[in-house]
Amino acid sequence: KMSEVSKVMTKADIKPKSMHRAKIWSDDVENLYRFQQAGYRDEVEYKQVKQVDVVECWPETGFVKKLQRRDNTFYYYNRQRECEDKDVHKVKVYVY
C-alpha cells in the first residue's frame, strides 16, 4: 500500500500549493515536526533531497526514527512523542 506521500513523490520536484500551521497535535504533526527540525519541509522534500525511497520509522508508533540533515549529520528520535503542545503551532503543514 503506497502512502499519499509516495504517490506525490512520483512527480519530480513537486512544490506545495499552500501552507498552514498545525493547531492540534497528531501523528502527522509529530512527523512533520521531526522533518522540520532536521531542516526539511516534509517527507516529500526529504526524499527528493536525500534520494531515498523509505524513511526509517519506529514500528510501534510509526514516528520517524532517524533523519539525515543536509550536512549529513543524523538526527535520532525517540519512539514517543517529542513535539510538545507548546511547539505544535510552530509546525508547518504543507498542502500539495
Any residues with CB less than 8 A from the CB of 61 and at least 6 apart, and which? 27, 79, 80
Flag whether pLDDT at 1 surpasses 50: no
DSSP H stretches of helix in the chain: 4-9, 27-37, 43-50, 85-88
Maximum distance among all alpha carbons in the chain? 35
Domain ranges in the chain? Answer: 24-95
Please give the span between the terminal C-alpha atoms of the chain, in angstroms, as a whole number: 20
Flag whether pLDDT at 10 surpasses 60: no
What pLDDT, in 10s, does the model give residues 20-52? 999 999 999 999 999 999 999 999 999 999 999
Q: Name the more confident of 78 and 12.
A: 78
Distance CA 31, CA 42 (A): 8
Q: Which three cell numbers stand for residue 12?
A: 519530480
